[in-house]
Chain A
């Protein structure tokens, strides 16, 4: 069953309070080599059948219109994992 992975991150120029909180706890654990943490989302869309260009086009459209909000987020990756894919990764 092929799965299409969509990755969404808060815009780089925006403050990411969640990532900042995680970075804070890493600091308290003594892991001071990590200077920053940013936290985003990973969506896994499973499809019954092969992933062709039409499916990927639909996912790209959904990634922009539903899965992310362009005012506050960027879609940073769309790729296919699992069997039956007829096309390669794209972003």
Chain B
């Protein structure tokens, strides 16, 4: 099982995503934004960071990178694609996911361990969770406010495509507390919080049992791996 992680100029969490994939039991494959080559991977992660310095709009220039032509084709033919933070912004700019991300309503960058509720466990990336499961993974962004038209919002809610929702505090003004969504098919998921930063005890968020012991993010990666193995 090979999962590609695309590095763009300004990507920050590409190495973390590769590490998460390795810990989850698959082989991470480094992909480069400037190439038209997915190197035969089975799934793709678009990592967090500040591609192109967030110039134009967050994720906008990256969404027009050479490799995105292949990513869009692969996503449309069913390949699992996960966009984390800046990767989520790219997926909206590439029109693989609806809505958009705007500057946090309070105007500040926010970095915290964020509680989420997993509301859709049918997607490739969340099938290992139980419906309604509450998890904690890091969140760190300046432009994480999810917005969409009233019609799009009703469609996302009606079709159960809100994958994860903020619990407790809404950290950025996202409509309906939306932290992540999926496409209709469930193979493309984007979320602002960072599952790849909560995959190994000792390096994750604090939990009730021990400091930095949180590994709730790992299930995003193991879900995709198990789903792909089951359908291989």
Contact = CB atoms under 8 A, between A and B. Distances in A.
B107 A10 contact: no
B119 interface: no
Nearest to A15: B105
B186 to A, nearest CB: 22
Interface of B: 56-57, 60, 64, 92-93, 98-100, 102-107, 145, 147-149, 173
The 7 closest A-B pairs by CB, nearest first: A71-B100, A17-B107, A72-B100, A17-B103, A21-B107, A72-B102, A15-B105
A17 B103 CA distance: 7
A12 interface: no
A66 B56 CA distance: 9
Given A66-B64, A69-B57, 18 more contacts: A14-B147, A15-B105, A15-B173, A17-B103, A17-B104, A17-B105, A18-B107, A66-B56, A66-B60, A69-B60, A69-B100, A71-B98, A71-B147, A71-B149, A72-B57, A72-B102, A72-B147, A73-B57
Interface in A54-91: 66-67, 69, 71-73
Nearest to B143: A17
Contacts of A21: 107
A66 B93 CA distance: 9
Nearest to B99: A71
A73 B60 CA distance: 13
Q: Give the interface residue-count category, chain A.
A: 10 to 19
Contact of A71 (B92, B103, B104, B105): B92
Which residue among B56, B93, B98, B173 has the maximum number of chain A CB atoms within 10 Å of its CB?
B56
Nearest to A16: B103
A21 B145 CA distance: 16
A31 interface: no
A20 interface: yes
Contact of B107 (A20, A66, A71, A73): A20
Contacts of B102: 10, 14-15, 17, 72
